[in-house]
Structure 1
Amino acid sequence: MTTQLPRPDLEADARVKAVFDDIRKTRGTDFINNMWRWLALDPGLLERTWTEVKEVVSTPSSIDPLTKEMIYIAVSVANNCTYCIHSHTAAARAKGMTGEQYGELLAIIGLAGKTNQLATALQVPVDDAFDASKPGQ
């Protein structure tokens, strides 16, 4: 259940229209998903968020687009964000993620969650070999 409904005339605001037009151009689609429509509640927030997403996720970098989406899925699972799990799983599939890769991703997410919880519960100290602040690392 949403806490806020978007205005029906979102693109009447020039700032919102400019961001939506850039989303359409960048993604090559007319579809504006709900995340952007709801963020348009505050045009400044919409602009800042889209700028950061475009810079980090949409700009070519040393991490390929599919890996970026898979990382986004993992973080979304860890943060229990149903919306982001669905939207980034769809994006990863569109970028070529196979069913086998998705299964492996879920296995890694599940294992990481388990071992993180065990390390936290046991308060396992960090090995000096893993601590970049220790001399000789």
Structure 2
Amino acid sequence: MSTMKIRAARSDDLDAIKALLGENGLQASDITVLLLKDFLVAENADGVLVGSVGLERFGGNALLRSLAVAQPARNSGLGGNLVARAEDLARASDVSELWLLTTTAADFFLRWGYGAVNRSSASAELLASTQFAQLCPASAGCMKKTL
């Protein structure tokens, strides 16, 4: 596996991020250039985008979202590296709790210290977010980690 570089997302990464999320069956309809300021991407040695993760902030809470790794880069530890970097970004900006919704990756997030919580325990701001209110099905698991 060639080396991966994780960097802050740029506005010109938007289409590639949306394509990656689509390939992974994740929602991308609400991602805007503005939201990308708290996104990280991973690129391979050829500069091809092979991973993404984002934070959507709501005061002292943030939604960890849009974690995706391209098929060829899976099982390389990249997903965990992206989560760790997103957590560093959250801590650096005074976020104390990270929340996420997942239908497929609960086991992965459990390994990274996220615990299952009742969706209704999220803050009003989080519950009103597009992810909670519209995009993620009620069947999605809700998880939280205190930083």
Structure that is richer in helix per residue = 1
Structure that is richer in strand per residue = 2
TM-score (norm. length: structure 2): 0.31
- The answer to which structure, 1 or 2, has the higher relative contact order (CA under 8 A, 6+ apart) is 2
Structure number with greater Rg is 1
